[in-house]
Copies of this chain bind each other. A is one copy, B any other.
Amino acid sequence: MNTLGKLFKITSFGESHGTIIGVVIDGCPPLLTIDQSFIQAQLNRRKPGQSNISTSRNEDDEFEILSGVFEQKSTGAPITIIIKNKDTRPEDYSKLKDIYRPSHADFTYQKKYGIRDYRGGGRSSARITAGWVAAGAIAKLFLAHFEIDITAYVKQVHQIAINKAYLSLNLQNIETNSVRCPDPETALLMQKAILEAKQEGDSLGGIAACIIKNCPIGLGEPLFDKLNAKLAQAVLSINAVKGIQFGEGFNSVLFKGSELNDAFIRKQNGETGTQSNYSGGIQGGISNGEIIYFETAFKPTATISKLQKTVDIEGNEHNLEASGRHDPCVLPRAVPIIEAMAALVLADCILLQKAYTL
């Protein structure tokens, strides 16, 4: 349900147009310095209204820590973070009260629970992920002790994709453009495509990549908490995600075993490593010390302004023209969310591995 993780655990709460959204982190090790400006910086990467290609909802997403931090340090007690919803316009949604927006969760929530907070998607809104990003920022602060570095970026928007190997990209470029694509020329094309879709009242999907450097060997707990399985569960929790793949992923099937196997070699520093990294840094569900690489597919935003056919709660047919504010493409704002989920999973895995090391 709303708790993720075994040791570094987060419990998510709140609705899009309620008073607040938030998160409780239970299991943050004590004595961690909680750098609030870092948390805010992560939230700012996710917040709405940051550019002309994101939703116009106006939220500054300032957070407040309600518990678990004393004199700037974690105490081992649960850390509660809330973010107030300021620019709520529940009235925008009153006409959606009984209507199911296509490819949203309106219908399934109504059927599952027999009730739903219809204002802006309520609990199913992507706004909830702000809490995850705040929690992920704390996980990142923890991971910094191990020098683990997690970087996501936009690899593809609709038909426009980076066609370079990820190792050749300059990841410093990611935050230099509104689309969070490390390849500047591709970024421009992506922005153009998104703006066109926005003008059409339409939306675009895309693929985000995530690169994790300096992950220690040994993270992941077979057989059912393999690192890739845990990452998959966490990332599939993000709204609009339709798939995940590790290393070569679906492309692996075009290789033969003799082509895809990563030969072990003695590296220059004397350590064992792999020559290639088709595995994407995870073997047998455990990190192998190489770069962890995975990709996530996002469908186009379900909310569009174009006219759509749908039915209401009584089964009557309607033509729906969505109001409410939304992103023409979620990818740029999904980047910090993916990083957060990866950070939460890695923090959990590190604690598990610490527990079991004699």
- Residue numbers of A with Cβ under 8 A of B are 1-4, 6-7, 9, 11-15, 18-22, 24, 26-27, 29-32, 66-68, 70, 73, 75-80, 82, 100, 102-105, 107-109, 111-117, 122-124, 128, 145, 156-159, 197, 200, 202-207, 217-218, 220-226, 228-230, 232-234, 236-237, 239, 241-250, 252-258, 260-266, 270-272, 274-275, 278-280, 283-289, 297-304, 306, 308-311, 315-317, 351-358
Copies held by the complex: 4
The 7 closest A-B pairs by CB, nearest first: A105-B284, A243-B245, A203-B257, A108-B286, A355-B355, A257-B300, A112-B218
Are A279 and B244 in contact, with the CB atoms below 8 A? no
Are B297 and A29 in contact, with the CB atoms below 8 A? no
Q: 20 A-B contacts, Cβ less than 8 Å apart?
A: A1-B27, A2-B224, A3-B224, A13-B66, A15-B67, A31-B115, A75-B117, A103-B278, A104-B284, A107-B272, A112-B286, A156-B253, A158-B256, A205-B260, A223-B237, A245-B245, A258-B306, A261-B308, A264-B309, A278-B299
Q: Which residues of B contact A79 (CB under 8 A)?
A: 13
Q: Which residues of B contact A244 (CB under 8 A)?
A: 232, 243-245
A117 to B, closest residue via Cβ: B70
